[in-house]
Chains A and B, each alone.
Chain A
Amino acid sequence: TRHLKTLALTLGNCHGQKIYMRSPPIPEMATQEVQLNETLAHLKTESETLKSKLEEERAKLHDVELHQVAEKVEGLGQFVMKTRRTLKGHGNKVLCMDWCKDKRRIVSSSQDGKVIVWDAFTTNKEHAVTMPCTWVMACAYAPSGCAVACGGLDNKCSVYPLSLDKNENLAAKKKSVAMHTNYLSACSFTNSDMQILTSSGDGTCALWDVESGQLLQSFHGHAADVLCLDLAPSETGNTFVSGGCDKKANVWDMRSGQCIQSFETHESDINSVRYYPSGDAFASGSDDATCRLYDLRADREVAIYSKESIIFGVSSVDFSLSGRLLFGGYNDYTINVWDVLKGTRVSILFGHENRVSTLRVSPDGTAFCTGSWDHTLRIWA
């Protein structure tokens, strides 16, 4: 009876008889509202059920902890890692850096709007570009070594071909590739110079064709700003992981745009995500002062790297070549080095005079570079 499409309107009594008039057929909105509310409630219940089922299934396979499996592995000795080079030249906070595949060049970007390419062996600056915006939060080296990409508060990702002629004005050849509706938080070339993957404060990630600037695929699913991304090692196929202010780390299929796995165990923003070298897992660093390891085949978190004495957020994480060490750059100016298997801290490195904002291990694993709010970059080995 709730779905009556026509109904009788009473016009009143006339000599004790009720008079009715058939109304014209009523549009479905009245019935729709009722149906909508029922369906919405039904879907809410279904989603709650699915969420608990997901947790249940994951818990069933949680038969042991990673550090228990690793008990028999030999412990790591003392580490002698120190600053081997200091790169000075930025006028303000260093926000991001990336290594070139040649294992010696580095690109870095800063709050002062400058993007600098360095030779890390000699500490010489090879190129410098001034961006039209401040807060260049993201930069990346192209696989060929012939270009760099960067962006930030301008909401764009631009590509600059690197000229062999040091006097040439790089800004003249700039190519605008990505357009977001909020700040660019991270960018990365895919396997070639042809495509760029970006993440943004607008809550989305996107894949772009560099030549045409065309959007090839967009990735929706985060409920807040996306702060970081990392591409799976090429052998493992077309996926990438992203982390955001919604405390979630999402794994995406690059071709379909689908989110294939999602992890929500951090208690605050995820500032950095990095794949384990085999591609079977990834690490994350968060404002909740912990780093965590998620295994993709077990579909769950398998380790937490934390200490009561560490209370400042992690800005950036990366693995050593074998995946045994996890380096974390922290907001308390230090770098903590973790034994990935045993879950213990093996070293703490001092040197920077302000927050460590970015950290990357070199392509051949011989060193790692950190960038800081103290305006410098340091190479550690």
Chain B
Amino acid sequence: MSPRGLTALSGVSGHSPPVWFQSLDGLFFFFLNKEYFSPQTISNNMTSNSNLSNMRRLVEQLKLEASVERIKVSQAAAELQQYCLQNAGKDALLVGVPTGSNPFREPRSCAVV
């Protein structure tokens, strides 16, 4: 039931906190009804609050990630390559090892039980 001469300033729904109205002579009103303090209204506000804290956490996390110090890919790539080449000699799967020193390449010995 919309009082005459009043303009709704925000969406009206049975479960949202009160709607503000502005009268023709400029005064602001809202209507106190029992839905204002309903559990639904309170839980709507709490969900909004938890969405808010999640968003705040996300923004803080993004700020942290943005502040990481970075180096150029060319430098990072060069260092990855250098590590590979320096350790290539020890990499049995890459270069193989002298016959006899890779236990898996030997035929397996039988275990005497």
Contacts and interface: CB of A to CB of B under 8 A. Distances in A.
B103 A104 contact: yes
How many B residues touch the partner, as a band?
35 or more
How many A residues touch the partner, as a band?
35 or more
Interface string B45-86: 100110110011011011111101011111111111101111
Contact of B79 (A70, A260, A280): A280
B102 A63 contact: no
B97 interface: yes
B33 interface: no
A297 B76 contact: yes
A277 B83 contact: yes
Contact of A367 (B10, B36, B58, B93): B93
A290 B21 CA distance: 58
Given A124-B111, A295-B76, A365 B93 contact: yes
B48 A33 contact: yes
Interface string A133-151: 0000000000000000000
**Residue picked from B49, B66, B97, most chain A C-beta under 10 Å:** B66
A36 B45 contact: yes
B73 A50 contact: no
Contacts of A205: none
Contacts, number: 210
B27 interface: yes
A340 B55 contact: no
B88 interface: yes
A140 to B, nearest CB: 22
B92 A281 contact: no
Contacts of A73: 81, 84-85
Given A61-B73, A361-B93, A366 B102 contact: yes
Interface stretch (A188-196, A237-245, A318-326): A318-326
Contacts of B74: 63-64, 69
A322 B94 contact: yes
Nearest to A56: B66
Interface string A51-63: 1011001100111
Contacts of B20: 2, 30
Given A8-B29, A57-B66, A368-B93, A63 B73 contact: yes
Nearest to B23: A10
Interface string A11-26: 0000000100001000
B18 A381 contact: no
A310 interface: no
Nearest to A337: B93
23 contacts: A7-B29, A7-B30, A29-B45, A32-B45, A37-B48, A40-B51, A40-B52, A47-B55, A50-B66, A61-B71, A70-B77, A73-B81, A259-B61, A259-B65, A298-B73, A300-B70, A321-B87, A322-B88, A322-B90, A322-B91, A340-B84, A365-B93, A366-B103
Interface of A: 1-2, 4, 7-10, 18, 23, 29-30, 32-34, 36-37, 39-40, 43-44, 46-47, 50-51, 53-54, 57-58, 61-66, 69-70, 73, 76, 81, 84-85, 104, 120-124, 221, 258-262, 276-278, 280-281, 295, 297-300, 302, 320-325, 340-341, 361, 364-368, 379, 381
Interface of B: 10, 16-18, 20, 23, 25, 27-30, 32, 36, 41, 45, 48-49, 51-52, 55-56, 58-59, 61-66, 68, 70-81, 83-88, 90-94, 97, 102-105, 108-109, 111
